[in-house]
Amino acid sequence: MTLNLVVLALLDGVAYAALLFLVAVGLTLIFGVLGILNIAHGSLYAIGAYVTATLGQWLVAAGYNPWLTFPALVVAAVVVGVVLGGAIERLLLQRIYSKEPILQLLVTFAVFMILENLQRMIWGVQPYYMSEPLTLLGNVSVLGINYTAYQVLFLPLAAVAVLIGLRWFLRHTSMGAQILAVTEDREAATAIGINATRVYLMTFILGACFAALGGALATPTTSLVTGMGANMIVLSFAVAATAGLGQIEGAAISALMIGIARSFAVYLSPELEVIMPYLIMVLVLLVRPSGLFGRETVRKI
Amino acid sequence: MRPALIAFLVLLAVLAGLPFYADNLTVFVTMCLAKSLAVLGILVLIRADQVSFGHAMYFAIGAYAAAFLSSAWRDIDLTLLVLAAMAASMVAGLLVGLFVTRYRGIFFGMINLAFSMVLYSILEKAFHITGGSDGMRIRRPTLMGFEFKRAEFDIVMFYVSLGIAAVCFLLVWRYLRSPLGQALRAVKTNETRLEYLGLSARHVLLAGYVVSAVLCGLGGVLMGTVQGLATPEHGFWSRSAELVFIAVLGGQGHVAGAFAGTVIFETVRTFAAAILDDSWQLILGVVLIAIILWAPGGLVELWQRATRRRPRPASEPVETGRQSMEVRR
């Protein structure tokens, strides 16, 4: 393996890890606060991507400045996150918080089936493209390798911005403090006047926005096909589980690990590409059953 | 004799006569029987409150075990195919089970899903071994040395499936009432208490997991042989989802739920899928939510509600015990 290939694999890996992190951090945030693993998360990612593609294509076709596709990425993500995420939490999840965990899992799975189907009905099965942001930013040269600036700079910066923003939001704002309080102990938080129902809703919407943002930012780098949601939910679960469910900073590290390992697999032995993330997850979980940064939960007697 | 046993024998007799009065239904019912075995496997795990979103992988392993054998030897016997599928799914179930039984709930379901997606992509990508997405043919096997023509073979497969299914349903029914099966329910209620009794919750769950894997493998080999084909589709996540769906639809209260759920599911699909093919998953999702919100016990619970005055199924008091523990926490 030459140096060039190593650099190329690293760049690929970092760009991919940035997207993985965005989706996984939403998943892990929702789990940390609500205690629900949202299987429909992968669909939010896919739908975020499709909405972005549609919006971007419309902007370009209508003759607007192509730079407008950048705000369109964020707008699409927020719209999908607020509308879909809000609807799922309000109409469905709020009815099942008191039910058994197995039933909660099944409900989000049902939502996943519904959303996958809706996505196929709306956008069909033909692939979608929207590469304006990628071409607009042009290429940069890293150690003699030409690579798109969108993937080398924009995606990692966006991921880092989300990570820092989320840390700041949770530690230095009132809403963030309320979220942390509810995570620690819902009953005690309610007793001191925190509206836990609202905190749940806000957290779910925030998490959904991250998933949709991951999809929106992925749009310029790939063609959108059916089934991308199913792949992403398992992948982002692998990332979140490797880090330990509920660990936000940990998710960034395990996303980097899995993203880079995967892109090296692409260059070294392509048949391992699909297996790589799960291999890492299984190896980590064998040694540390609750993830790299996860805490052992105390068992109830 | 117990009424349940009488009902079982009557159903068996009615089904056994099927080729004589409803010949055109035999293949359909054979497929239902094959699938209900896999659903039965899911049901065993649901007893321990665990849902696997990847059990279609054992279905695929069963079908592919048969496909590999039948492409290696021309006139192989059906008995060997079934035994090979059982062995393959048992070994796979044991290996994967050793790992996944360390986990419960979300992790259990998702790690199973991850394993099944790995298997699916291997089956699809290694096309020089597995035929890729076209899958592999399973040649019509002999049975006890006899060769059969297409129409005869359908009838043979029907009786073989009926026999296997009847034995499996009886055995699983016995298993769930045995101490080992009761311990499985204790994994759901309270693991720590179970371990205070001197039983390893992991081993109890592993036994259940291997049983469920073998049941899925059996379903896979029967389905594959009837269709004459093993494809990666058999192990796709949406198949696993279907199995979970049918298990929840049927209800976890009784093994009969697995069969009733499968028959209703397949009937609706056969008649409605032609019209609703585009929105099939959408409908499944909506119905699944409706069941969970309003009839979490599935068909079994609805049946018990209709036939008895008691509004709640018998398994309920166990859960109240658990909830009261959580309140006191």
pLDDT at A300 over 70: no
**Residue B50 contacts A, CB cutoff 8 Å:** yes
**Residue A99 token pair:** 């039910």
Give the number of C-alpha atoms closer than 13 A to the C-alpha of residue B57, restricted to the C-beta side: 24
DSSP secondary-structure letter at A219?
G
> Tens of pLDDT along B110-135?
889 888 888 888 888 887 788 777 88
pLDDT at A296: 63
Q: Count of CB atoms within 10 A of residue B85's CB?
A: 30
Q: What's chain A's Rg over C-alpha atoms? A: 19
**Residue B129 contacts A, CB cutoff 8 Å:** no
**Residues 130-159, chain B, touching A (beta carbon < 8 A):** none
pLDDT at B320: 42
Q: Is A35 left (phi over 0), alpha (psi -120 to 50) or beta?
A: left
pLDDT at B283 over 90: no
Which residue has better confidence, B2 or B56?
Answer: B56
Query: Could A106 and B49 be called an inter-chain contact, meaning their C-beta atoms sit closer than 8 Å?
Result: no
> For the whole model, what pTM was predicted?
0.82
Residues of B in contact with A299 (CB under 8 A): 191-192
Are A50 and A122 in contact by the 8 Å Cβ rule? The answer is yes
> Tens of pLDDT along A88-143?
999 888 888 888 777 888 899 899 989 988 888 888 878 888 877 877 777 777 77
Q: How many residues does chain B have?
A: 329
Compare CB distances from A117 to B115, B117, B279 and report the shortest one's residue. B279
Calculate mean pLDDT across residues B221-250: 88
**Residue B295 contacts A, CB cutoff 8 Å:** no
Q: How far apart are CA A216 and CA B38, in angstroms?
A: 38
Are B138 and B129 in contact by the 8 Å Cβ rule? The answer is no
pLDDT at B309 over 70: no
B191 pLDDT band, cuts 50/70/90, is confident
pLDDT at A301: 43
Q: How far apart are CA B238 and CA A231, in angstroms?
A: 12
pLDDT at A125: 79
By a Cβ cutoff of 8 Å, what residues of chain A touch chain B? Answer: 31, 37, 92, 95-96, 99-103, 105-107, 109-114, 116-118, 120-121, 230-231, 234, 237-238, 241, 245, 271, 274-275, 278, 281-282, 285-286, 289, 299-301
CA distance to partner chain B, nearest, from residue A301 (Å) = 6
Query: Could A238 and B46 be called an inter-chain contact, meaning their C-beta atoms sit closer than 8 Å?
Result: no
Q: How far apart are CA A206 and CA B60, in angstroms?
A: 38
Evaluate the CA torsion angle B104, B106, B110, B111 in order and state its sign.
negative
The closest alpha carbon to A34, from A207, A190, A166, A174, belongs to A207
A207 pLDDT band, cuts 50/70/90, is very high
Which 3 state secondary structure label does DSSP give B16? helix
Query: Could B105 and A102 be called an inter-chain contact, meaning their C-beta atoms sit closer than 8 Å?
Result: yes
**Residue B53 contacts A, CB cutoff 8 Å:** yes
Domain ranges for chain B: 23-235
Interacting residues of A170 by C-beta distance below 8 A, sequence separation 6+: A176, A177, A179, A180, A248
Query: Could B109 and A92 be called an inter-chain contact, meaning their C-beta atoms sit closer than 8 Å?
Result: no
pLDDT at A1: 62
Average pLDDT, chain A: 86
pLDDT at A23: 93
> Tens of pLDDT along B150-181?
788 888 899 999 999 999 999 999 999 998 88
Nearest CA in chain B to A276: B118
Residue burial A192-211, b: 16+ Cβ < 10 Å; e: rest? eebebeebbbbbbbbbbbbb
Residues of B in contact with A245 (CB under 8 A): 106
Q: How far apart are CA A252 and CA A239, in angstroms?
A: 9
Q: Count of CB atoms within 10 A of residue A29's CB?
A: 24
Give the number of C-alpha atoms closer than 13 A to the C-alpha of residue B60, restricted to the C-beta side: 28
B1 pLDDT band, cuts 50/70/90, is low
Which residue has better confidence, A274 or B89?
Answer: B89
The closest alpha carbon to A250, from A157, A185, A182, A166, belongs to A166
- The least confident of A20-24, A199-203, A272-276, B48-52 is A272-276
Q: How far apart are CA B296 and CA B227, in angstroms?
A: 33
Which residue has better confidence, A285 or A27?
Answer: A27
Residues of A in contact with B115 (CB under 8 A): 278
Evaluate the CA torsion angle B194, B197, B198, B199 in order and state its sign.
negative
Q: Residue A168: is it exposed, middle or buried by C-beta count within 10 angstroms (0-12/13-18/19+)?
A: exposed
pLDDT at B326 over 60: no
Calculate mean pLDDT across residues A72-82: 90
> Tens of pLDDT along A222-242?
888 877 888 888 888 889 888
A44 pLDDT band, cuts 50/70/90, is very high
Compare CB distances from B106 to A37, A116, A281 and report the shortest one's residue. A37
The closest alpha carbon to A258, from A278, A285, A286, belongs to A278
Q: How far apart are CA A160 and CA A156, in angstroms?
A: 6
Query: Could B282 and A114 be called an inter-chain contact, meaning their C-beta atoms sit closer than 8 Å?
Result: yes
> Tens of pLDDT along B259-272?
988 988 888 888 77
Residue burial B274-297, b: 16+ Cβ < 10 Å; e: rest? eeeeebbbbbbbbbbbebbeebbb
Interacting residues of A193 by C-beta distance below 8 A, sequence separation 6+: none
Q: How far apart are CA B117 and CA B236, in angstroms?
A: 7
**Residue B282 contacts A, CB cutoff 8 Å:** yes
